[in-house]
Amino acid sequence: MESVNKLVKFESQVAGHDNILCLTTNDLMVFKPSSQQEREFYEASQQHEEFMDWIPECYGTLRSSTENEKELLDKGQDVAPVLSDNITDIPTDQLANLDDILFLCVCVCHLCLENILHGFTRPCIMDIKLGYKIYEDTADEAKRNKMIKNAQGTTIESLGLRISGMKIFDSVERHYTSYTKQYGRERTKDNFLDGLLSYFYPTYNLNNESNNNKWILEHFIDTVSDIQGFVEEHAELQLVGCSLLLVYEGDASAAQAAWKRMLEEDRQDDANIDKPVNDNDGVSGGADDAADADDDADAIQKDMEETGPKLCDIRLIDFGRSRWQPGRTEQEQSFIKALDNLMGLLDQVIEQSP
């Protein structure tokens, strides 16, 4: 059988231990080696619709098909789950569309997740680890000590935040720059902001993209604030060692196209609801009225979720140590504080924008 669809290394991964994989034929999904705990977390999250907006959609788990299964697939028959470690080369000319992939996503190994970078031309990506406490209460002493040592002297201790990695497109020089985990470990409380400025303003080029950047920053702050509100109200949600994945479009013309599309869709929404003034008006005039645009994050978020050029996205990822714990009655206040710190820093980025 000819191999037309392979799983290969996901080149846009900016942090993490294991190789994230993707398919060669489309960029809709990524495949993350996962623990039972992370799989359970995604499953339990399905009960919380609001929270699902802030995490990648999870399509199931993937394992490789056996020769026997491939034959059965060819014949259009059902396949019973079989474990296998070899998932790097699935000869799956059947996997040409989502349904076929979901058909195979029945067992263990890799979580099949929505690729947050889908819809971007030149995504600028930053992974920020969240929380002062990055070990679980259930961790044994050795694990706990290892995690504490790992956080020592980093901004996890001082801010409850650490840059795990970044990949930034310079739209003037037209090349990517990557920042490793080491870069994040070397940040201090006092120069963390420089890291954020490098991410949001790689070129210090005063063209119209700075207009978008202010809107993007405000959108990120609003989303972090919404997440914080949700976490405060849901003590049963224990987030440990998760990250925020921030993405914005680094290609100036693609960003412009995304911006125009959002404005156009808002105009259409306005027309459709047959109301001369509504919440979306600020965004309709948004390119030159960023203040009003603040109020329209929800409407724009909805726009961005549809296919088409995307201007930005922000999601929680990496739940290997997180849990939904029914009956837990107190939320970890230091996690809330870490989110406060991030919002404060993003505010400072806006203030210091070129």
Residues within the interface to Mg ion (CB under 5 A): 16, 318
| 117 contributes a contact to ligand ADP by CB under 6 A | yes
Q: How far is CA 54 from the centre of its chain?
A: 8
CB of 128 to ligand ADP, least distance (A): 9
Nearer to ligand ADP, 57 or 186 (CB): 57
Given a contact cutoff of 8 angstroms between Cβ atoms, the answer to whether 305 and 258 are in contact is no
Q: Binding of ligand ADP at residue 18 (CB under 6 A)?
A: yes
Q: Which helix (H) or strand (E) holds 247?
A: strand 243-249
Taking Cα atoms as reference points, which of 260, 209, 234, 253 lies closest to residue 316? Answer: 234
CA 159, 162, 164 angle in degrees (round to 5)?
A: 175
Contact between 127 and ligand ADP per CB under 6 A: yes
Q: Which residue is nearest to Mg ion (CB)?
A: 318
Show contacts with ligand ADP in window 183-242 (CB under 6 A).
none
- Tell whether residue 115 is a contact of ligand ADP (CB under 6 A): yes
Query: What is the total count of residues that contact ligand ADP (CB under 6 A)?
Result: 24
326: tokens are 């029914």
The residue within the footprint of ligand ADP, chosen from 5, 7, 20, 124 (CB under 6 A), is 20
**Which residues ranging from 289 to 318 are in contact with ligand ADP (CB under 6 A)?**
317-318
Left (φ > 0), alpha (ψ -120 to 50) or beta: where does 304 sit? alpha
Please give the distance of CA 81 from its chain centroid, rounded to a whole number.
Answer: 29
Residue with the shortest CB distance to ligand ADP: 16
**Positive or negative: CA dihedral 264, 265, 266, 270:** positive
- Is the CB of residue 212 less than 8 Å from the CB of residue 348? no
- Tell the smallest beta-carbon distance from residue 32 to ligand ADP (Å): 6
Stretch that binds ligand ADP, among 16-24, 88-96, 193-201, 204-212 (CB under 6 A): 16-24
92 binds ligand ADP per the rule CB under 6 A: no
Q: CB under 6 A: which stretch of 9-17, 46-54, 96-104, 180-188 binds ligand ADP?
A: 9-17
Rounded least distance, CB 157 to ligand ADP, Å = 19
- CA 246-249-253 angle, to 5 degrees, is 170
Q: What share of the chain is helix, strand, coil (3-state, %, to 5)?
A: 40, 20, 40
- CB of 102 or CB of 287, closer to ligand ADP: 102
Reading the block at residue 333, the tokens are 């206040």
* 16 touching ligand ADP, by CB under 6 A: yes
Q: Is residue 45 involved in binding ligand ADP (CB under 6 A)?
A: no
Query: Residue 161 burial by CB count (10 A; 0-12/13-18/19+): exposed, middle or buried?
Result: buried
For the bound state, the minimum distance from the C-beta of residue 39 to ligand ADP, rounded and expressed in Å, comes to 12
Three-class SS of residue 305? helix
- Single out the residue of 157, 177, 156 nearest to residue 167, CA to CA: 177
Which residue, 184, 136, 180, is CA-closest to 158? 184
Among 44, 101, 109, 245, binds ligand ADP (CB under 6 A): 245
Judged by CB under 6 A, does residue 30 bind ligand ADP?
A: yes
Smallest distance from the beta carbon of 310 to ligand ADP, in angstroms?
12
* Residue 14 found at the interface with ligand ADP (CB under 6 A): yes
DSSP string, 27-86: SSEEEEE--HHHHHHHHHHTT-HHHHTTS--EEEEE-PPPHHHHHHHHTT--------S-
Which of 5, 21, 28, 32 binds ligand ADP (CB under 6 A)? It is 32
Q: Which residues bind ligand ADP (CB under 6 A)?
A: 13-18, 20, 30, 32, 56, 113-117, 125, 127, 164-165, 243, 245, 317-318, 320
